Chains A and B, each alone.
With several copies, the nearest count.
Chain A
């Protein structure tokens, strides 16, 4: 659908995410359901109090991977519009790091699509989180993206 691609949104932001504005963008009168996922900074990690987080991204690749998730979501689920916005830089406790909104005429597709989008983002989008504590900082344990198998030897 032409209309779909125009209204989808994939963005990396260095300032706070305006959640209400993202929701407005996916909302349309022909829908009936919007499911959103709001991921925000917890005040602890593995039992240690967190001070703040820093996110960095391989920006052009992260955006390309977010758009790929969008294409997969439209192929797999009968949804209308999708928005995926990820924050970068320093984030304080309680601030939103990622916000996903999906609109759909029927709720099951919106739930499935929103969940697929965040699950896939966490496995495949090149973004990294560093956690700052009272006594130091660590890069969060991450997930290894699925890598292509070795290329066949080219006959040359």
Chain B
């Protein structure tokens, strides 16, 4: 049995077609300590199976910086799964 680690809370933000798909602009969720952005995404992909098709085109951000998917989450992180950008 793995050691029981304290859970932590992160803020998740959704934009563009991902916001429309989940029906949420943001929410605060609990994840187990040591979880990565990829783990967090997988939780959402379970709740919203259509998300899986977008995974390859998404970029992850942590605290307003692009980051890699294997980054571990820290308490109160702002996390977003960003679709291709189309400003300008």
Q: Which residues of A contact B28 (CB under 8 A)?
A: none
Given contacts A139-B83, A142-B85, contact A56 B70 (CB under 8 A): no
- Chain B binder among A3-11, A17-25, A71-79, A124-132: A124-132
Interface size on B, residues (CB 8 A): 26
| Cβ–Cβ contact B66 & A122, under 8 A | no
Q: Which residues of A contact B13 (CB under 8 A)?
A: 58
B46 at the interface (CB under 8 A from A): no
CA distance A126 to B65 in the complex (A): 10
Q: Which residues of B contact A97 (CB under 8 A)?
A: 87-88
**Size band of the A side of the interface?**
35 or more
| Cβ–Cβ contact A139 & B16, under 8 A | yes
| Cβ–Cβ contact A143 & B86, under 8 A | yes
B59 at the interface (CB under 8 A from A): yes
Q: How far is the CB of B41 from chain A (nearest CB, A)?
A: 13
Q: How far is the CB of A32 from chain B (nearest CB, A)?
A: 9
Q: Which residues of A contact B85 (CB under 8 A)?
A: 122-128, 142-143, 145
B82 at the interface (CB under 8 A from A): yes
Q: Which residues of B contact A64 (CB under 8 A)?
A: 64-65
Which has the most chain B C-beta neighbours within 10 Å: A122, A123, A128? A128
| Cβ–Cβ contact B87 & A61, under 8 A | no
Q: How far is the CB of B5 from chain A (nearest CB, A)?
A: 13
Q: Among B15, B19, B60, B87, which residue has its beta carbon within 8 angstroms of that of A147? A: B60
Q: Which residue of chain B has its CB nearest to the CB of A66?
A: B87
Q: Which residue of chain B has its CB nearest to the CB of A37?
A: B88
1/0 per residue, CB under 8 A from A, across B46-88: the answer is: 0000000000010111001111111110000000101111111
| Cβ–Cβ contact A122 & B88, under 8 A | yes
Given contacts A61-B80, A139-B16, A145-B59, contact A129 B86 (CB under 8 A): yes
Q: Which residues of A contact B71 (CB under 8 A)?
A: 151
| Cβ–Cβ contact A127 & B59, under 8 A | no
